[in-house]
Amino acid sequence: MNATSNNLYVASLLANFFEAGWAIQVLVGDASQAQYEASRLARPEVEKHLRHMADTARNLPEDVRGQMPRVDWESWVELGEHLPPRDAKARALVWTVIEAWLPPAGQELRRYRRQLPELWRFEM
């Protein structure tokens, strides 16, 4: 992969990760855990976006992840092993991700976008 295509690849992965997180926050809104788990529409979409985030974290080059150490990329990668959630423990993990992982990850990615704009640029 040449430098230009690698830059586009990284920028697209970072944008996709961020946008999937944002979509989850919109889908969940201010729902409680019980409301979320009872949702036949939002829950599968959230799980789809979480899968996308886990896959994206796994595909993000290690050197790029290393430039953003305040995002726990390894935990995002490991999340993929629990999707779709097939038991109560995995469902509890999904809710933890929604409540405790997403807000700080989004905040850190916004900070990194300001600090490392070259990673986020879609330029040829």
Instruction: Evaluate whether 1 touches 9 at the Cβ level (below 8 Å).
Output: yes
Which residue, among 123, 105, 118, has the nearest Cα to 53 in the 3D structure?
A: 105
pLDDT digits (tens, 9 = 90+) for 104-114: 999 999 999 99
pLDDT digits (tens, 9 = 90+) for 50-76: 999 999 999 999 999 999 999 999 999
The verdict on residue 123 lying in a domain is no
- Helix axis angle, 88-96 relative to 42-59, nearest 10°? 80
The verdict on residue 11 lying in a domain is yes
The verdict on residue 110 lying in a domain is yes
- Residue 111's domain comprises 3-118
H helices of the chain, in order, are 3-28, 33-38, 42-59, 62-66, 73-79, 88-96, 102-115, 117-120
The verdict on residue 124 lying in a domain is no
Peptide bond connecting 85 to the previous residue in cis, omega within 30 degrees of 0: no
**Of 124 and 11, more confident:** 11
Which residue, among 55, 60, 50, has the nearest Cα to 119 in the 3D structure?
A: 60
Domains identified in the chain, total number: 1
Q: Summarize the confidence of residues 75-97 as an average pLDDT.
A: 97
The verdict on residue 71 lying in a domain is yes
pLDDT digits (tens, 9 = 90+) for 4-60: 568 899 999 999 999 999 999 999 999 999 999 999 999 999 999 999 999 999 999
Angle ∠(39,42,46) on CA atoms, nearest 5:
125
Answering whether pTM is above 0.85, one says: yes
Q: How confident is the model at residue 122, as a pLDDT?
A: 87
The verdict on residue 66 lying in a domain is yes
The verdict on residue 111 lying in a domain is yes
Please state the φ and ψ torsions of residue 69, each to the nearest 5 degrees.
-70, -15
The verdict on residue 29 lying in a domain is yes
